[in-house]
Amino acid sequence: MPRARKLFLSPEACSDLQAITEPLRTVVVRRLRLLRQFPESGVRIGGEFKGLRAATVEMFRIFYRVTLRGVEVVYIRHCKRKLFARSD
């Protein structure tokens, strides 16, 4: 079994996770633990988000990157929510 990496959540990802209600939050946390063990399991994202991976849990997507430090979670977004708010 692969060695688990450290998991780091950005302040935005922490806020996103806190906004998810139970029991769904527990499901998302389980997926985060799996990503520590199998960080390459998420789908690679291209374009302007190159370097990120995404894993889907129910109606949420976990956006993260794998680094030498470990697994860095950038955002946890509801599938209907835009990844970044535009400032137009």
31 inside domain: yes
- Flag whether 14 is in a domain: yes
Is residue 69's pLDDT more than 80? Answer: yes
In a domain, residue 85? The reply is no
Q: Is the pLDDT of residue 88 over 60?
A: no
Listed in sequence order, the residues at least 6 apart from 27 whose beta carbon sits closer than 8 Å to its beta carbon are 57, 58
Counted domains in the chain: 1
Q: Dump pLDDT digits (tens) for 4-33.
A: 789 999 999 999 999 999 999 999 999 999
**pLDDT above 70: residue 81:** no
Residue 88 within a domain: no
43-54 pLDDT, tens digit per residue, is 999 888 889 999
Q: Which domain holds residue 36?
A: 7-50
Q: How confident is the model at residue 87 (pLDDT cuts 50, 70, 90)?
A: very low
Does residue 64 lie in a domain region?
no
**Rounded-to-integer distance, Cα 66 and Cα 36, Å:** 9
